[in-house]
Chains A and B, each alone.
Chain A
Amino acid sequence: MTPGPFVNDLMFQAATVNGSGSQSANLVLTRAIFSMGIPVAPKNVFPSNIEGLPTWYQLRVSPRGYQARAGEPDVLVALNPATWTKDLAGVRPGGAVVHEEAYSTAGARQDVSYFPVPFAKLAKTRISSDSLRKQLTNMLYVGVVAGLLGIPFEAIEHGIKRTFLTKPKAWPVNVDAACVGYQYWRDNFADRRINHTLRPMTGVTDGLVLIEGNQAAALGCVMGGCTVAAWYPITPSSSLCENLIAYADRFRVDPASGEKKIAIVQAEDELAALGMAVGAGWTGARAMTSTSGPGISLMAEFSGLAYYAEVPVVIFDIQRIGPSTGLPTRTSQADLGFVYTLSHGDTKHLVLLPGTVEECYEFAQDAFDLADRFQTPVFVLSDLDLGMNLWMTPPFAYPERPFDRGKVLSADDLERLESRWGRYRDVDQDGVPYRTLPGTDHPAAGYFTRGSGHDEDARYTEEAEAYARNMDRLVRKLETARGAVPAPVVDSSAGSTIGLIAFGTTHHAVVEARDLLREQGLPVDYLRVRALPLAASIAEFVRAHERVYVIEQNRDGQMYDLLRLELAAELAGRLRSIRHYDGRPIPAESITRPLLELEEKVPVQ
């Protein structure tokens, strides 16, 4: 049995039916707890379905503010008869189970406490609105859980107001419903104690805000000067452009004329979505598309065109599980290898790897600068976990840098040139040529952009040397970009012979795993990769460690493979691969357990 009570350290899980409106109730709880100064890390485990399939909301509360997924729940709210038995079986010993009274607990496990609530009956007798009854039933459990965990009712009220920020009309009905649940707890369970409790705290969440990665990326697009966005709806990326639409409606409309300073097009498919963005990028606009796995597959051809014809464009890939349709609502880091070389032929792209919502915001802006500067597609590889869950973050910084529009020649520039301009000439020996934009009023400005073979002056050619020269210049350009993309974040403070390498959302499990390993007497250093092509400094990190574990959320160890390809053989041999690929965000335990096994240390139970 788990000893208690644990303060501000628990896993909460609500098991409900998709489409029942439980998401609002879960957000209210999350925001209520967050308002108490307690760190929260919510994860929505939802089905690819509109209504009827089971859905789970996992809310992790930890005093140190860990944001990785943890193991099994300590507190369960069971409102789905279809999964009741399995949900109950998953609760940690000593846990508390709030369930619909009608569910049978006869012969059920004895190592948890049961809190039966007649939700259906309460909803019928205590919620007067017929149309809102289904949704508000979920607010009943918010009230019960508030009582059980010691969440002050004022915090619940705050959570309701924050969740329904723009709908004040919804406040009273939701507060009333939560109040019914809270009263039920007081009348029936007030004298019962459970192993977990929440108490207001300070110091960890002060000044932090909550935001989803897709919203943060959309905000980055606004601040990064995006003016053309084209997208095709696909989970889990849709909310990125939907947030962009909301931002555009609010911040990009001229109040006097009603004119919009951005075009957002819902395209007919992902091919067209990227095609529109490439067309806009060619014209000089900051253009983007956002998609996920199947859409990325469809975008391969246009990605190659943009790479070879050297057109700036930003592509967000909010990764989900593949191959094929895969699990559309589960997370993954398995597009890394595919995206890096997306398209036929010799292709290599710039790929940014945000690990936090703050980086979703920052890298979105960086992506537009890098795309313009290097005249090439820039991919931002987020994932479902980062994109669609709320994360705690310091407020974002207002951008102080002007846009980097790269090497664009105006009519005046062309007039001043002493030698003839050629679109693909490597004047600066950095692989990055100068471009002109359509509409530039100068007789020398026009050129013919093509995906077929071309020479330095953009003329069609099938000449062998011209083809090879161009391909070699593109390598030079990639090498220049290698030093310009976000550098790895290195923490060698442990001074260990063991290093960890991770990227993206795996970061959060690594943070926790390092604490756990340190507590077990095995401090480890850490390098977080933040972009492709891989930084030269990664080799130094590997050289400084005897063994380096590459941790990622895919089956094949794609980052491990990339590192082995790019590192010298002697360094590649130091790498070990740890992979997690069940579609759920990686927990710290998926790092510590295999690592300790590989290090031949017995994990402490």
Chain B
Amino acid sequence: MSATLNHIGLARDAYKGAATTLCAGCGHNSITNHLVKAMYELGVEPHLLAKMSGIGCSSKTPAYFVEQAHGFNGVHGRMPALTTGAGLANRKLVMLGVSGDGDTVSIGLGGFMHLMRRNVDCTYIIEDNGTYGLTKGQFSATADVGSVQKRGSVNTYQPIDPCAVALTLGCSFVARSFSGDGKQLVPLIKAAIAHRGTAVLDVISPCVTFNDHDGSTKSYSWVKDHDEQIQDVTFIPFFEEINVDYEPGTIKEVELHDGSHLVLKKLSEDHDPTDRIAAMRLIEEARERNQLLTGLLYIDETAQDFASRESLPERPLRDLGEADLRMSRDDFALHMSELA
């Protein structure tokens, strides 16, 4: 039986990677599966995908999907810098960064913020479990106040909410989701990839070994009890026709850069995802209510991405040769005479 092929003629297996070395039941493995599904259905060209990461459990995962793609597992907290440089050098690449909560909002907070501020064209997935897994269970900076560590200590410090930070900086795509909710996460990943600019996806991803106990606000059971979906998210790629039935007034539709569409059906909130201030209010109100709000918080399809703002050509910089890059002999001679 032949496998079902996507619109560029690849089977789902083409998007798989090496076997995971993370714990059984780790939320990150679910996210990996959702990434495989999203990229398969979207028809991402494996050779154009650049998988970027920093250090930590989350940052290992790019080895576990799309084996044919190039990947770069760099240093702790610096994935944004590597991604910025790599993307500038070759605009054709699909830049996909996978990071964790420690990698993003502790050691890498500065770089994370500047990436968003520049609106570097990339998808930035935070596999957010509120804990340091590889070093055996210390709190991370996304741990909520009152959250209890496995060994019993209670976090008293304010969490840093990556989505709130992203909104403050005008990040052009901000969403939150849950590793266990593929129905919501897969279309959000597709939209993030289709978006031109920085797309931040904060995905709550329980750590089964160190942060899945009672008293944790990043456990499977807590998330299931407190998850409040803003919208029902449907992604319609550019190569498919839009064919959605809806009652007037219940749907918001966003056209993405590549001609794809996001169709958002109102669930818990009547939220306009192009309203940044409303998104910030929504996050604060959910926090007050002790809820985990998931869905597309904010999108701005009009924002110019970094490479465009820098007037870079679509042709990869790395493909330019001597004739493109060296000044002409005449210009050079003229310039030398100016120095006399």
Contacts and interface: CB of A to CB of B under 8 A. Distances in A.
A190 interface: no
Contacts of B332: 223, 398
Interface in A253-294: 253-254, 257-263, 265, 267-269, 271-287
Contacts of B83: 279
Nearest to A313: B85
A446 B67 contact: yes
Given A283-B93, A285-B89, A275 B50 contact: no
A282 B68 contact: no
A396 B87 CA distance: 33
B84 interface: yes
A439 B84 contact: no
Contacts of B88: 228, 263, 265, 276, 280, 285
Interface string B221-257: 0000000000000000000000000000000000000
B73 A280 contact: no
A161 to B, nearest CB: 12
Contact of A439 (B47, B113, B307): B47
B22 to A, nearest CB: 13
A467 interface: no
Interface stretch (A62-70, A128-136, A447-455): A447-455
Contacts of A398: 329, 332-333
Interface residues of A, number: 72
B339 interface: yes
A451 B75 contact: yes
A210 interface: yes
Nearest to A274: B81
A395 B340 CA distance: 8
Interface string A397-412: 0110011000000000
Contact of A268 (B46, B74, B111, B333): B111
Interface in B272-301: none
Interface residues of B, number: 61
B70 A228 contact: no
B311 A259 contact: yes
Contacts of B113: 268
Contact of B310 (A251, A260, A460): A260
B85 A230 contact: yes
B7 interface: no
B9 interface: no
Contacts, number: 220
A199 interface: no
B70 A396 contact: no
B110 A283 contact: no
A309 B320 CA distance: 24
Contacts of B333: 398
B3 interface: no
B317 A396 contact: no
Nearest to A247: B327
Interface of B: 45-48, 50-52, 62-63, 66-75, 78, 80-90, 92-93, 110-111, 113-114, 307, 310-313, 316-318, 320-322, 324-327, 329, 331-333, 335-336, 338-340
Given A259-B313, A280-B89, A439-B93, 12 more contacts: A210-B339, A268-B114, A274-B81, A276-B82, A276-B88, A279-B72, A283-B318, A438-B47, A439-B50, A439-B70, A442-B47, A448-B73
14 contacts: A228-B88, A251-B331, A261-B325, A272-B84, A275-B75, A278-B82, A279-B86, A285-B317, A302-B75, A395-B340, A436-B70, A438-B93, A445-B70, A448-B62
